[in-house]
Amino acid sequence: MEKNVEVGHYSSEGVNTYTNPLQNDGVLIHAVNVTSDPYGAKTKRSGYTSFLGTPDTSQINTLFDFQNIQNISGSMNLYRASGSSLYYSIQGTGPWTLSGNGTIVPGAHFGQAVLDNVLIGGDGSVTRHTTDGTSFTTTSLAPPSEFFEQYQNRIYAAGTSSTLFYSTTNDATNWQTSGTSDSNSFEIPGAGKLGKIFTTANQLIATKSSGIIQKWDGFQLIDMATRYGPSSPYSVAGVEGYKFFMNQLGHYGFSGAMPQLLSNPIQKQFYNVQNTGIAGTLFSTIPAVTYKYDYLASVGTITDDFTQRTISNAIIKYDYKKNEYLNYSFANNPTAYCSYKDTSGSQQLIFGDINGQCYKMDNSMTDNGAAIPMEMVFFFTMGMPHVDKFWRWWRGFFNPGCEAKVQVACTDVFDYPSLRWTDLGDCSSGFIEYHFNDTTNNRGQFLFVRIYESSKSSRTTFYGQELSVIPNPVA
């Protein structure tokens, strides 16, 4: 008598196309616009709406906030650099207004740091500062720089070549090198020009375009003996003192020791044999942010060479708490991000696009009116990849009222583009059970399950699935 084998999968992890799928039954090989909430389940992500107006229609290259302006508790401004202008929004609610002395190099980014409630920043040509948050003053003797960091009560500024400058102690505006002032500079050796500078583990980290990383503790410079630093200075972001960045080889974590490669599960999105990963031209400009415990990085259009699924406006999402990767795809491709605490103390996430519009992530069902397409693809062997099977039934558990649909495909090969899909119908009741029969594609060593939807009025949560097969069925 033929014996049934039944299994349940109630905890799905992140995307993994790095490990041989035959070793991990039920692996998620493709996921777009879902998040792991609750943990082990997958829920369609929230959307966003337009935020403030468009003072110009140029690409937004930088977004940042300035907290506690003039030492007023709860006071903050938001800023954007787009076109040839630096704008501010009072409290993040007022309209975008051109900052005093806010003309910048067209298309430039604007880096910044804060020391003793003085915001200092620049576009690489002129360094300026503000105390009131609305009008900037050119900072006398300060080097032109785009990258700034506060460290040991000084402002450090990365020069346009290899010189790292620092201000007088406790004074962001004093760059004198004589008398009672103790500003100074030193060289960062090695190839390339200086890029992003940041702090971690009570050390200042200086990076160069060649991938070199040097550590400075206020007394000595330590060569990290690596060239795996950030290729994009705008990809550097952190949580709890732990930094993230990207280069051509992947997504890295950095705690002050050697950079740690994290992105093996999605390596094929960075580079693959078909050369359909992140475009090489994008690696120097990838924008990223950490929002709560998620690292988000915009990487353009990618196609991994296992599933052959293309993701446009792709965002690599790394969940620091769960150590897992997923993908987002926004209707509007982000060119700059900012995560900030608003005047009510709530953490917010905004981003800008190529047309000069900002957007705010919220609990919307759409991307500023556009449907959010959700998709997941799972791969099953039932723990018996070498055995031919008769697939008997599949069950799925969802939230009632969702608009998700399901497809399945049985196969003996990994040629994803040639799969013959069978539609199982919708999942609006919260439960779906499908019984295979002799008239459908029901035999094969492997089973692919595709869950998808593109609604504007509901949010899908997928809790788990159950499967039944007959191994080695009688022909």
Distance in Å from the first CA to the final CA of the chain? 13
* Per-residue pLDDT, 1: 41
% of the chain exceeding 70 in pLDDT:
97
Q: How many domains does the chain have?
A: 1
User: Residue 375 and residue 370: Cα distance in Å, rounded?
Assistant: 16
pLDDT at position 105 over 70: yes
Q: Is 260 within a domain?
A: no
Q: What is the pTM of this model?
A: 0.95
Q: What is the mean pLDDT of the chain?
A: 94
* Per-residue pLDDT, 28: 96
User: Residue 403 and residue 426: Cα distance in Å, rounded?
Assistant: 6
Q: Is 243 within a domain?
A: no
User: Residue 468 and residue 5: Cα distance in Å, rounded?
Assistant: 6
* Per-residue pLDDT, 85: 98
Q: Which two tokens stand for residue 212?
A: 């070199």
Helix, strand, or coil (residue 398): strand
pLDDT at position 178 over 50: yes
Q: Is 89 within a domain?
A: no
Burial of 415 (0-12, 13-18, 19+ CB in 10 A): exposed
How would you classify residue 7: left for phi > 0, otherwise alpha for psi between -120 and 50, otherwise beta?
beta
Choice among 113-117, 149-153, 276-280, 442-446 with the minimum mean pLDDT? 442-446
Q: What number is the average pLDDT over the span 225-234? A: 95
Q: Is 290 within a domain?
A: no
- Express each pLDDT in 387-434 by its tens digit: 888 999 999 999 999 999 999 999 998 888 889 999 998 899 999 999
Contact present, 113 and 150 (Cβ < 8 Å): yes
- In sequence order, what E strands does 72-176 have? 76-82, 85-90, 97-103, 111-115, 118-122, 127-130, 137-138, 147-151, 154-158, 163-166
* Per-residue pLDDT, 74: 62
pLDDT at position 339 over 50: yes
Q: What number is the average pLDDT over the span 434-459? A: 87
Contact present, 125 and 143 (Cβ < 8 Å): no
User: Residue 17 and residue 31: Cα distance in Å, rounded?
Assistant: 11
* Per-residue pLDDT, 4: 86
CATH number, domain at 392?
Answer: 2.60.120.260
Q: What number is the average pLDDT over the span 131-138? A: 95
* Per-residue pLDDT, 189: 96
pLDDT at position 473 over 80: no
* Per-residue pLDDT, 311: 97
* Per-residue pLDDT, 425: 86
pLDDT at position 221 over 90: yes
Burial of 423 (0-12, 13-18, 19+ CB in 10 A): exposed
* Per-residue pLDDT, 334: 98
pLDDT at position 439 over 60: no
- Express each pLDDT in 49-100 by its tens digit: 999 999 999 999 999 999 977 666 668 999 999 999 999 999 999 999 999 9
Helix, strand, or coil (residue 387): coil
The parent domain of residue 460 ranges over: 5-45+374-471
Pick the more confident residue, 121 or 472: 121
* Per-residue pLDDT, 405: 96
pLDDT at position 232 over 50: yes
**How many Å is the maximal CA-CA distance in the chain?**
95
Q: What number is the average pLDDT over the span 222-226? A: 93
Q: Is 395 within a domain?
A: yes
Q: Is 321 within a domain?
A: no
Angle at 316 between CA 253 and CA 122, to 5 degrees: 70
pLDDT at position 281 over 90: yes
* Per-residue pLDDT, 417: 87
Q: Is 238 within a domain?
A: no
* Per-residue pLDDT, 472: 80
Q: Is 351 within a domain?
A: no
pLDDT at position 440 over 70: no
